[in-house]
């Protein structure tokens, strides 16, 4: 975490290195990637008595794990994700207590708002899932939606749905705070340490080759977010993962007029611990064209049919990005890898999207007026064709577990999947049905079942 004038600041490549533990000769498991999944996996592995090392090519939580909306929501989850998310909510509260509030977890509820009858019907279609799991989700009338805000609203919301027990966290500080807990529990963490390749013999992992040397291990967790498919492809493993760019903005301090998370068809917002609000567009993401986009096009046709209007196509991925045309797909273990060439993905935020956030905010809350934007950034969301992740062992490589493709939902559900990964490594029961997240679902002939995209 970096603090400027008493406030947390965004994590970038300029953030000073905090985690530089000595590279051990041997561990039980190496985790590739220091995002929310990798950090919680390391925490729970260390608490199970396992020797674990996180290798992060750049900074802990430097990419999407600190660039997301900060929602910790059960609301609207895929049916298979929901039990894991309910556990994750409890684990986030536990982590916040253990870090003396450094995760910024606050219960304020999640509200999905509808501007039309068809949209309202779509929101209500999820209520059966909520009831089946005993959630406190309820329907909101139009007047109840207006009552969520202390400022006058000027938008024709006809109603909505709400899960009051949902929470929010502070992405800039939460994952680094948990990483400190993991290190205190015995995990080793090293930033600026890219894993270049797996060291294998007869299809079994023997260790990893990092830019700083070799580490022996029998199990590896690939939790590299937007970089996972590039690393896997180097080892002959095909993961149909693509990445989309999402722009997010931080407002200056505003008198609190709303305390939770809310989203309608166009605009999302949440209250921040620093007194401002996080704003994002709910109907717009950027996408860069690259080799993988063409390679996996057919797998994404169902998702494109559902959401093509919300995608802004870029001509080509920027140099150094995972799916850039010039990014190597193979490299030698004794040469610099693409992960060292781009330590932290820093996509340029969309100015047009930021202007749309302000315009839409003003139309909904005219009494407040245009908010001052203090900071604006973008992140690359690792997405799967069905909008749910892969969390599974890779059949072709003994000892390799993949946990990737969180599809924009990873921050909230990170503790639950981290606990699952830790138990998988330790040979213990995962405690959840993971069939929905199996590695082979894109190649075993089973029909694609779309998950929720928000």
- How confident is the model at residue 303, as a pLDDT? 80
pLDDT higher than threshold 90 for residue 307: no
How far is residue 188's CA from residue 354's CA, in Å, rounded to a whole number? Answer: 39
Place of tokens 């928000």: 454
Outline where 81-170 has alpha helix (H). Answer: 82-98, 117-124, 127-132, 142-146
- Give every CB contact of residue 174 below 8 A, 6+ residues apart in sequence: 36, 61, 95, 102, 103, 104, 105, 411
- The answer to whether the CB of 409 falls within 8 A of the CB of 68 is no
- The answer to whether the CB of 383 falls within 8 A of the CB of 242 is yes
In this structure, of 76-85, 119-128, 242-251, 444-453, the range with the lowest mean pLDDT score is: 444-453
Which residues on adjacent β-strands are paired with residue 288?
314
Work out the average pLDDT over 296-324. Answer: 83
In this structure, of 17-26, 113-122, 297-306, the range with the lowest mean pLDDT score is: 297-306
- The answer to whether the CB of 158 falls within 8 A of the CB of 115 is yes
Quickly state the pLDDT bin for 308 (edges 50, 70, 90).
low
Quickly state the pLDDT bin for 1 (edges 50, 70, 90).
very low
Domains of the chain in sequence order:
2-442 (3.50.50.60)
- How confident is the model at residue 97, as a pLDDT? 98
Bridging pattern class, strands 7-9 and 159-163: unpaired
Determine what percent of the chain is predicted with pLDDT higher than 70.
98
Which residues on adjacent β-strands are paired with residue 135?
none
Backbone torsions φ then ψ of 228, nearest 5 degrees: -60, -45
Work out the average pLDDT over 55-73. Answer: 98
Backbone torsions φ then ψ of 313, nearest 5 degrees: -80, 130
pTM: 0.96
Outline where 287-409 has alpha helix (H). Answer: 291-295, 301-307, 338-341, 351-364
- The answer to whether the CB of 35 falls within 8 A of the CB of 121 is no
Structure tokens, 92: 């986030």
- Give every CB contact of residue 411 below 8 A, 6+ residues apart in sequence: 36, 64, 65, 68, 69, 70, 71, 72, 169, 171, 174
How far is residue 41's CA from residue 422's CA, in Å, rounded to a whole number? Answer: 5
pLDDT higher than threshold 80 for residue 136: yes
Quickly state the pLDDT bin for 7 (edges 50, 70, 90).
low
pLDDT digits (tens, 9 = 90+) for 332-391: 999 999 999 999 999 999 999 999 999 999 999 999 999 999 999 999 999 999 999 999
Structure tokens, 283: 């109907």
- How confident is the model at residue 352, as a pLDDT? 94
Mean pLDDT across the chain:
95
């Amino acid at each position: 975490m970096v603090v400027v004038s008493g406030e947390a600041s965004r994590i970038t490549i300029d953030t000073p290195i905090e985690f530089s533990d000595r590279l051990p000769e041997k561990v039980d498991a190496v985790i590739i990637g220091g995002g929310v999944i990798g950090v919680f996996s390391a925490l729970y592995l260390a608490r199970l008595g396992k020797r674990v090392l996180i290798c992060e090519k750049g900074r802990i939580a430097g990419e999407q794990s600190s660039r997301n909306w900060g929602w910790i929501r059960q609301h609207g989850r895929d049916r298979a994700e929901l039990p894991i998310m309910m556990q994750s909510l409890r684990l986030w509260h536990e982590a916040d207590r253990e870090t003396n509030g450094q995760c910024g977890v606050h219960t304020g509820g999640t509200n999905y708002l509808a501007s039309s009858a068809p949209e309202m019907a779509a929101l209500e279609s999820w209520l059966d899932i909520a009831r089946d799991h005993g959630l406190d989700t309820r329907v909101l009338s139009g007047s109840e939606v207006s009552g969520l805000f202390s400022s006058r609203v000027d938008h024709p919301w006809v109603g909505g749905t709400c899960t009051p027990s949902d929470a929010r966290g502070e992405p800039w500080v939460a994952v680094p705070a948990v990483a400190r807990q993991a290190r205190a529990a015995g995990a080793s963490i090293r930033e600026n340490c890219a894993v270049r390749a797996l060291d294998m013999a007869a299809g079994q992992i023997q260790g990893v080759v990092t830019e700083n040397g070799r580490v022996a291990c029998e199990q590896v967790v690939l939790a590299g977010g937007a970089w996972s498919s590039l690393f896997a492809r180097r080892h002959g493993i095909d993961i149909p993962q693509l990445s989309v760019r999402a722009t997010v903005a931080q407002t200056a301090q505003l008198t609190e007029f709303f305390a939770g998370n809310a989203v309608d068809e166009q605009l999302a917002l949440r209250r921040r611990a620093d007194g401002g609000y996080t704003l994002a567009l709910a109907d717009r993401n950027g996408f860069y064209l690259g080799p993988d986009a063409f390679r996996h096009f057919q797998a994404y046709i169902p998702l494109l049919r559902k959401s093509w209007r919300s995608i802004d196509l870029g001509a080509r991925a920027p140099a150094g990005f995972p799916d850039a045309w010039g990014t190597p797909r193979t490299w030698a273990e004794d040469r610099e890898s693409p992960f060292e060439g781009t330590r932290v993905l820093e996509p340029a935020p969309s100015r047009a999207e930021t202007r749309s956030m302000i315009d839409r905010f003003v139309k909904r809350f005219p009494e407040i007026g245009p908010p001052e934007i203090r900071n604006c950034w973008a992140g690359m969301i690792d997405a799967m064709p069905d909008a749910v992740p892969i969390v599974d062992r890779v059949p072709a490589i003994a000892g390799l577990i993949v946990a990737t493709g969180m599809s924009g939902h990873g921050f909230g559900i990170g503790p639950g999947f981290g606990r699952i990964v830790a138990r998988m490594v330790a040979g213990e029961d995962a405690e959840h049905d993971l069939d929905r997240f199996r590695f082979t679902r894109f190649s075993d002939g089973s029909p694609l079942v779309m998950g929720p995209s928000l």
